[in-house]
Amino acid sequence: MKYHIALAVLTITTFLTSCSSNYVVSTNFDKENIDQYFSASNVEIYNKEGDLPGPYKFVSLVEGQDCQSMPHQAEPDKINARTQARQQAHQLDANAVVFSGCALLDNEKLAKINASNDAKQCHAIIICYARAFKINDLK
């Protein structure tokens, strides 16, 4: 009887140790992807150019867009478009943006400009435009 218990314990122990070793975990976490995803948080939004603090310089015009690819999907989101514009500003080493506006192009408006790639891929699209700035004293 003791022999069977010892054999069972040995078998279970061997099984558990063989199953719990030599595993390599592979994830899709990449520091660059994480930095890119959170880059918009490094770009402040201001209502107008006069609100920018301290010395600053104009960097570039930026834009972001969000596409509704099928009629049954969620409508294009202004927040996603603005976030994409802020990410683009961050790539240009800007740390502030002033949005000039967003334009919603529905299916009818896109049909009028059907030569564009967006018109072929999107049921509706929202595009937000901004000016990107580099503020010297912004932490």
Q: Quote the CATH superfamily of domain 43-139.
A: Hypothetical protein apc22750. Chain B (3.30.110.70)
Q: Where are the domains of the chain?
A: 43-139
106: left (phi over 0), alpha (psi -120 to 50) or beta: beta
In this prediction, residues 101-123 reach a mean pLDDT of 79
Among 50, 36, 124, 123, smallest CA distance to 86 is for: 36
Residues 22, 23, 26, 29: is their CA dihedral positive or negative? Answer: negative
In this prediction, residues 43-71 reach a mean pLDDT of 93
Whole-model pTM over 0.85: no
Q: How far apart are CA 102 and CA 104, in angstroms?
A: 7
Q: What is the pLDDT of residues 70-97, one digit of tens each?
A: 999 999 999 999 999 999 999 999 999 9
